[in-house]
Amino acid sequence: MLFSESLVTVPGSVAVTAFSCMGSNQMNCLKLLVAATALGMASQAYAAQDDAARTISSPRVTYVDKITGQTHDVLRCGAENPSASERLTIEAQLRAFRASDKASLIPGATVADKIIPIHFHIITTNTGAGDVQDSQLDTQIAVLNAAYAGSGFQFVKQGYSRARNTTWYNGCAQASIERQIRKSLAVDPTHTFNVYTCGLGGGLLGRATFPWMYPENSFMHGVVMLNASLPGGSATNYNGGDTLTHESGHYLGLYHTFQGGCTPPGDSIDDTPDEASAASGCPTGRDTCASEGVDPITDFMDYTYDSCMTGFTVDQRIRAQDEVSIYRPSLGH
């Protein structure tokens, strides 16, 4: 693949080298009845939220940062939880779409893959600490494509860039700094999946936006992830590349498998058994809800080790297809 190179100046940092590519059923209805009433201003709420309120409680493990030698707690994901009223409106829009002639997938259907280009933004300190190898990005794309095989989505590395900015690298878990980063670096968010790697901090491995949170052209769309969670990184048990698999699930519209615990509507997916809380490690046979089925610990939308995650369900694939069709129709090609 050929790349063209350009030099970009980023406020508060040194120059950035940028490279660009050339060349339902009854159960669902019951779940909906339990959800509450009318979609609010999700984008404003996300941008204005206090940083401390953006972290959700979950099982933690630790990893040693090879750059600083510090030991950090690890919290897999900091995705926003939509309100009951937001969920009700999202589900209503999904029902309307599925009743239309635009509906995409049905169980067992074969659909042409939507090819989603990814632009990686590698943020380092001013001295270059926190950098990742180009080969890690290629491996990450391969991991994503293996995880999403048969889902109707595939990914390509459209381009990548590096930005040296110590404040950004160390502070990217803060909402205000994250917003600065996205606003300064985002590449064509209407059509492109923007992924930012940094020190993240706050115990997070990654954070994503949902497709319905912003207008299609908003620079806020994308994923921020811990650089150490890329394939071959230093986040032990979380360095197989499935942090981005998980966060991409949110980016395409999927909730955590433990969303809402044992109480309907849960994660709004019929074929993922209810789960009371996030799982950690690889606890085979874990069963936290009285409803049928053991916890879906091998699902990419849980919190288990990368080595324990193996797939998405049929209904998750359908939901992701539909959400992208509704909220991000211009994404990819």
Q: What local confidence, expressed as pLDDT, does residue 84 receive?
A: 85
Q: What ranges do the domains of the chain cover?
A: 3-25+40-327
Going edge to edge, which strands form the sheet with 204-208? 3-9, 15-21, 153-164, 114-124, 193-198, 223-226, 204-208, 71-77, 61-64
Q: What local confidence, expressed as pLDDT, does residue 104 receive?
A: 58
State how far the alpha carbon of 310 is from the alpha carbons of 41, 174, 297, in Å. 35, 31, 9
Q: What local confidence, expressed as pLDDT, does residue 34 receive?
A: 36
**CATH fold of 3-25+40-327:** Collagenase (Catalytic Domain) (3.40.390)
Report the SS3 class of residue 7: strand
Q: What local confidence, expressed as pLDDT, does residue 313 receive?
A: 97
The model carries a pTM of 0.80
Mean predicted lDDT score pLDDT of the chain: 81
Kindly tell me if the per-residue pLDDT of 128 is higher than 50: yes
Give the separation between CA 270 and CA 256, rounded to whole angstroms. Answer: 13
Q: What local confidence, expressed as pLDDT, does residue 71 receive?
A: 54
Contact present, 39 and 85 (Cβ < 8 Å):
yes
Report the SS3 class of residue 316: helix
Catalytic residues: 247
Q: What local confidence, expressed as pLDDT, does residue 73 receive?
A: 53
Q: What local confidence, expressed as pLDDT, does residue 76 receive?
A: 78
Give the separation between CA 87 and CA 141, rounded to whole angstroms. Answer: 31
Q: What local confidence, expressed as pLDDT, does residue 161 receive?
A: 97
What mean pLDDT do residues 129-134 have? 96
To the nearest whole percent, how much of the chain has pLDDT over 90? 67
Q: What local confidence, expressed as pLDDT, does residue 55 receive?
A: 32
